[in-house]
Chain A
Amino acid sequence: MLKRVLCAAVIAGMPVIAGAQTIDDLKNDAATTDDVLTLGMGWGQTRYSPLEQINAKNVGRLVPVWNYSLGDNRGQEAQPIVHNGVMYVTTHDATHAVDVKTGKNIWVNKIEYPPETPRIVCCGIVNRGAAVLDGRLFRVTLDGNVIAISMETGEEMWRSAAASIDDGYSMTLAPLVTPAAVITGVSGGEYGTRGFIDGWDPATGRHLWRKYVIPGPGEKGNETWPGDTWKHGGAPTWITGSYDPELNLVYWGTGNGGPWNAEFRKGDNLYITSTLAMRPETGEIVWHYQYSPNDPYDYDEVGENILTDMMIDGKNRKVMIHVARNGFMYVLDRTNGELLRANQYVKHLNWADGIDMKSGRPIDSEITKKMRAGEEIVVWPGAFGGKNWFPASYSPKTGLVYSNTLEIGMGYKPIEPKLVKGTFYVGIDLSKALFYVKEGEKHSYLRGIDPLTGKAKWEVGFNVANWSGTMATGGGLVFTGAQTGEFMAFDADNGNKLWQFQTGSGIIGQPVTYTIDGVQYVTVASGIGGAYRNYFPLLGGVNAPEVVEELTKVQPGGSFWTFALLK
């Protein structure tokens, strides 16, 4: 196989396209800097690269080497995969293979989905990336399929249906490849769905297992749902989990309860807003940690679970860091789910008075008690959370978590929910769900946060909220993008902005870095879209007109930019 590909590549004068990405390659992804084979630049999703060719001293010389147009006006949230000189990128309706050296297209695979699909996709018509193994690229389709594409030819190899848009499900995440299965989750927490996670055979697409996040009748945890509420209880699984090969545990996050109005589903509602530690062979839940039992505020905890080891209270612990949407930063022992730290990392938070470190449960504030009694409130953080889907990074060099964070409140008035096909099943008065920002303050900060205290060592504020992932490097840099188009590099120690480049549209993607022939490159998607762009103008316009004006001036247009140092 390898030989044949090599021959073909030489003849065509093209880069080697396929070749073996074995499970070992995936396992070593964080350490091998000449490729990017996994979401989060390693199964542990630290988004840290030890590369230091581009560093705080020379980043001023970073220049674009190429721009690749995706021919698409939707939001671009995908992280690229880079293997053997080829970059694989996804949009909501296509997968592209691009020659990293030239920025030229090698193949493109287009996807069709029914025109009804976008109405059950709340927060951006996007795709967040691909996974690879043994010459196959795995991705999901917006209308609920998992497909494998030949990395060599771009042809579809298999297609398996995971979910139906008729039931309110959609799919946007990058799959996770583990030795036992390709694992995927679903979106649809606002549309009366019941979240689940699937395992697939990478070679054939055969369905291996399904784990419903909300237990059915007779299963442990179903008693936390009154009556039939478990059937439409939400708990979507729309962001990729991380994986520890030594412990053989997958750490997958789950989303909000449905409807948002939690009085209609009294109880803890397992396993909404949780991290599930699962066996990749079966989906068996080994342990779980629920961040916000009976959550009414759309605090999805699907976001990345960062795996690292660190000294805590004199002991070296295998931990999992979670920058929770509910405004607290958690550190758990990832061998057993023990809560080690839970500290507020946002300035404005009024839904809880803290986290009880013994039970691990949040303490309802007076505001939340009022809301539960039916009163209208303004909750901080609002439904966007202290941090939304955009992934944080962790640098073992500085010990800091780098995350874009939000200071946005939201009006909240519970009403009786109505389950209507194709519409929001939330049970709150949407005409009162306005976004609020604090006068005289920014509502978006890039922060370098100590995970053990939740305190920011430094922060940089932005007028329009950042909606992009971050990446930390051994060169002492943190990269992220702005929705106003700037791709930026900051000093990881103090947050000084060292470099920026205007990419033409807004950035809501996930930067990566890698080397080709010993030269370090940085790549990021540009192309505005996503939840903030969808809803902030609609529901925040009256409270922040100047922000909306700046945001809505940004033009759509998806592309990938690749940068290197000027020689």
Chain B
Amino acid sequence: MRARWIKTFGIGATMLATMTLTVSAQAAGSAETGKELYNTYCVICHGPNMVNSGARAFDLRKFPLGARARFVKSVKDGKKGRNEMPAWGDILTAEEIDHLWAYTKTRGRL
């Protein structure tokens, strides 16, 4: 239904992102607030608009959209191993992580 609607009205990627945002905003966070938080805390590793080569940090544009729990855990507790990242649970609140998740789902196209 949604795909046909987009096709019909010729709406591109940017609008799709906005729509995803609307859906996620209903569920939890705001992508706009998420983007602000992203640009404060995350941009220096994950890149402006999530664009990075994947050499330094995980390419967030490839994060599985259904894996909210994994996202929250990685941000809160950090990660070890090849995709190592620092923990942010002592700075970011659960609500802020929800905003970040909402922004992550836009694939950086907000």
List A residues at the B interface (Cβ < 8 Å): 73, 114-119, 122, 125, 420-424, 430-431, 533-535, 537-538, 541, 548, 551-552, 556
Interface stretch, picked from B9-17, B42-50, B97-105, is: B42-50
Q: B87 touches which one: A115, A122, A430 (CB < 8 A)?
A: A115
> Of all chain B residues, which has the CB nearest A426?
B44
Given contacts A422-B41, A430-B44, A538-B48, 9 further A-B contacts (CB under 8 A): A115-B86, A116-B86, A118-B85, A119-B41, A430-B48, A431-B43, A535-B56, A538-B45, A541-B51
Give 8 CB contacts A-B under 8 Å: A115-B78, A115-B80, A115-B86, A117-B86, A118-B84, A430-B43, A537-B53, A538-B47
Q: Count B-side interface residues using an 8 Å CB cutoff.
A: 24
Give Cα A518 to B82, complex, Å. Answer: 41
> Please, how many angstroms separate the alpha-carbon atoms of A424 and B80 in the complex?
23
Q: CB of B58 within 8 A of chain A? A: no
Name which of A118, A423, A538 has the most chain B CB atoms within 10 A of its CB.
A538
Task: Across the interface, name the chain A residue whose C-beta is closest to B77.
Answer: A115
Contact of B18 with A by CB under 8 A: no
Residues of B within 8 A of A125 (CB): 84
* Chain B residues, CB < 8 A from A118: 78, 84-86
Q: B-side interface residues toward A, CB under 8 Å?
A: 40-41, 43-45, 47-48, 51-56, 77-78, 80, 82, 84-88, 90-91
Q: How far is the CA of A77 from the CA of B74 in the complex (A)?
A: 27
A412 vs B71: C-alpha distance when bound (angstroms): 33
| Complex interface: chain B residues within 8 A of A114 (CB) | 87
Distance between B61 CB and nearest chain A CB, rounded to angstroms: 14
| Closest Cβ neighbor of B80 among chain A residues | A115
| Chain A nearest Cβ from B93, distance in angstroms | 13
A533 touches B55 (CB 8 A): yes
Check A552/B91 contact, CB under 8 A, given A115-B86, A116-B78, A423-B41.
no
Closest A residue to B85 by CB, please name it: A118
Report chain B residues within 8 Å CB of A117: 86
Q: Give every chain A residue within 8 A of B90 (Cβ-Cβ).
A: 116
A126 CB to nearest chain B CB (Å): 13
- A105 CB, min distance to chain B CBs, angstroms: 22
Pairwise interchain contact A552-B47, C-beta atoms closer than 8 A: no
Cβ A538 vs Cβ B88 within 8 A: no
Q: Chain B's nearest CB lies how many Å from the CB of A242?
A: 32
Known: A116-B86, A117-B86. A533 touches B91 (CB 8 A): no
Residues of A within 8 A of B48 (CB): 430-431, 538
For A534, the chain B residues whose CB sits under 8 A away are 45, 56
Tell me whether A422 and B77 are in contact (CB under 8 A): no
**Assembly CA distance A201 to B95 (angstroms):** 47
- Check if B91 sits within 8 Å of A548, measured CB to CB: no
In the A-B complex, the 9 residue pairs with the smallest Cβ-Cβ separation, listed nearest first, are A115-B78, A119-B86, A115-B87, A118-B86, A552-B55, A537-B53, A552-B53, A116-B87, A534-B56
Provided the pairs A115-B87, A422-B91 are in contact, do residues A538 and B52 lie with their beta carbons within 8 angstroms? yes
Q: Which of B41, B53, B82, B90 has the most CB of A within 10 A?
A: B53
Q: Which residues of A contact B54 (CB under 8 A)?
A: 552
| Contact indicator A119/B84 (Cβ below 8 Å) | no
Closest to B44 in A: A424
Contact of A537 among B43, B52, B84 (CB under 8 A): B52
